[in-house]
A and B are shown apart, each in its own frame.
Chain A
Amino acid sequence: MARWPKPAEGSWTQHYPELGTAPMSYEDSISPEFFELERDAIFKRAWLNVGRIEQLPRTGSYFTKEIHAAHSSIILVRDRDGSVNAFHNICRHRGNKLVWNEFPREETSGTCRQFTCKYHGWRYGLDGSLTFVQQEGEFFDLDKDNLGLARVHCEVWSGFIFVNLAAQPRQTLREFLGPMVTGLEGYPFGELTERYSYRAEVGANWKLYLDAFQEFYHAPILHGKQTPDNFSVAAQQAGFEAPHYQLDGPHRLVSTSGVVTWELDAAMRKPMEDITRSGLFGPWDVPDLGPMPAGLNPAGCEPWGLDSFQLWPNFTILIWSGGWYLTYQYWPTSHNTHIFEGNLYFTPARTPRDRVAHEMAAVTFKEYGLQDSSTLEATQLMLESRAVTTFQLNDQEILLRHLHKVAADWVGDYQRERTEAKR
C-alpha cells in the first residue's frame, strides 16, 4: 500500500509518458563508442559546474579543473574587477600546460598576479592577455594583442561556477538550469562555507554512480547493517517511497520526507549519534538559515528530509533539512572509469562541539559513500559481460530512466546534426 499518493496516471514514471516503462538497456554505460560520442555531445556542450565562488576568495585566486571527458584543462581565476574568468590551460607559444604543479595531470590552486609558462616564460594577465614574451624580437609578426589565453564561457549561479566548452553555448546558464533548479535561488549557499571534500577513482561508468545516488530503493538493503537491528528491520519492512519526483528538461529532483533521529527510540540510534548529537542526516542542532526558497520541499513534507537535485549532466546538489548540503560531481575518464567528488558544506562551527558534530556527519557520509561505490565495479563488470541486456526499473527508480534517456537524446541530437552538416 502506497504511503504517498501517486500521480493520477498511476505512477511517477507514467506521469512522464516519454520515459516509458519498458526494461532498460545499459549499453550506454559499457560501450566505448557511446562514451566517445558523449565527449562531444554532452561534455563539450552542456554547462558544467567546476566549483564554488568561495574557492576564489580574492584577486588572483585561481584553480585548475581537469575535464578529461572533453580533453580539457581549465583555469578559473578571479580578475581585478572581481569577475571570474575561465581559460583553456594552454600556453599560446608551443602548447605547454600553463598552470600545474609537479604533476601535469593533477589539479592545482593558489593565488598569483599573473600566469607564467614554465617552459619559455611567456606571461599572461588575470584577464588572459599576453603580457610578456621572452626575446620577443626573435619572433615573426607577433601580434600579442591577439595571443591572449583561449577563453572558455563561464557563468556563476548562486555562487556555483559553471563553464561551457562550446564555441557558442546554445543557452545562457540560467536558461539551461530552468525553473526547477533556479527555484533554489535564495538558499544561503554562501553562508555554508565550512567544507569537507572527498574524492574517489571509481571503476564504473559515470552514469552508474549517478544512478546509485538517485534512487533510495537500495537504502534499506545496502545500508541496512549500518543502523541498529531494530531500525534496519523496520526500514526493510517499510521499504522506501519518495513523496515527490520531478523532471524539468534534462534535470531531475527527488524529495523525501524525514526522520527526526533524536525523537526515535534510543535503541534505534548508535551510541556515537547520541554522544556527538549528529549522524547521517547531519547535526541535530540545526542552524537558523532563515526562510527557505520556494523550490525546496516541493511536496510540503513535514517533517521534510532532503531534496536531491540532479543537474544535467554530472552535478548533484543535495540539500538536507538539517541546514547543510552536499554536492556530487562525476567526471568520466573512460567508458568504465570516472572520478567522483563529494563535498559537504556546513555553516562554520561556532564551537568545538559543533565541529565534532560536523565530523560525525562527514565520517558517516564516507561510510555510506564507500558502500554506495562498492557495488559499482561489480555492476560494471557484469554489465560488460552482456549476459543480460535488459534490466527492470521500478517507479522509485524513475530518475535513472530519465538520466539515460537524456544521455541518449543528447547523443542522438548530436549525431543528427553532424549528419545534416555533412550533407
Chain B
Amino acid sequence: MSTPLLPIEFADLEQFAEKWCLPSETERYDQRLNSTMTDMQRFYDAIAARAEDALTYCDKFSIDDMPEDAKHLMHLLYSMIQVSFPIEVWRQPRIPDTGSASLTCVIEPSL
C-alpha cells in the first residue's frame, strides 16, 4: 500500500486524496471538469462533513511551515470549494453557457 497523503486523523478521506490533493487551481478546476457528478457528490459529502475538523487540524500549524500531510489536507479543502459549485449550484461540472469563456489562474498564493 502506498504511503498515505493525509494525516492519520483523516484516514477516512484518504480514498479521495490521490484524485483531489492537487496543488494548483488549474489542476483542481480541470479535475472538476473531468469528473462525474456522482464522483464529486461522494467527495463533497465526505469532506464537507469533516471540513470543520480539517480546518481545526490545519490551524495548529503556521501557514509558512505546514507539514506535507497538512498541506495535502489544505489542497483537499480547496478541491472541496471547487466541487461545491457543481454540487450546490450548477448540477453539472461546468458553469452553464460558459463553453467559450476561460479564466486561468496564473498566480496564486503559495502554501
Contacts and interface: CB of A to CB of B under 8 A. Distances in A.
B25 A363 contact: yes
A423 interface: no
A402 to B, nearest CB: 26
Interface stretch (A29-37, A294-302, A307-315, A347-355): A347-355
Contacts of B89: 225-226, 270, 367
Interface in B37-60: 48, 51-52, 55, 58-59
Interface stretch (A72-80, A192-200, A257-265): A192-200
Contact of B103 (A351, A359, A369, A377): A369
B2 interface: no
Contacts of A200: 101-104
Given A356-B78, A366-B105, A374-B99, 19 more contacts: A195-B109, A197-B105, A200-B103, A271-B84, A272-B81, A272-B84, A272-B88, A275-B48, A351-B63, A352-B74, A356-B74, A367-B89, A367-B95, A371-B97, A371-B98, A374-B98, A374-B101, A377-B100, A377-B101
B108 interface: yes
A352 B78 contact: no
Interface in B62-86: 63, 66, 70, 74, 77-78, 80-82, 84-85
Contacts of A374: 95, 97-101
B70 to A, nearest CB: 8
Given A270-B88, A359-B81, A363-B81, A370 B59 contact: no
Contacts, number: 118
Nearest to A355: B63
Interface of A: 194-203, 225-226, 270-272, 275-276, 340, 342, 348-356, 358-360, 362-363, 366-367, 369-371, 373-374, 376-377
Contacts of A356: 55, 58, 74, 77-78, 81
B108 to A, nearest CB: 5
Chain A at the B interface: SS class: helix
B98 to A, nearest CB: 4
Nearest to B109: A194
B1 interface: no
A105 to B, nearest CB: 15
B84 A195 contact: no
B8 interface: no
A33 to B, nearest CB: 26
6 contacts: A194-B109, A196-B108, A198-B103, A226-B89, A352-B74, A374-B98
Contacts of A349: 63, 109
Interface residues of B, number: 39
A167 to B, nearest CB: 33
A354 B62 CA distance: 11
Given A276-B81, A367-B95, A377-B100, A358 B109 contact: yes
B64 to A, nearest CB: 10
Given A353-B59, A355-B109, A199 B103 contact: yes
A198 to B, nearest CB: 5
A198 B88 contact: no
B13 to A, nearest CB: 15
Contacts of A348: 109
Contacts of B95: 367, 370-371, 374
B55 A196 contact: no
Contacts of A270: 84, 88-89
Nearest to A196: B108
A48 B32 CA distance: 36
A350 B100 CA distance: 37
B102 to A, nearest CB: 5
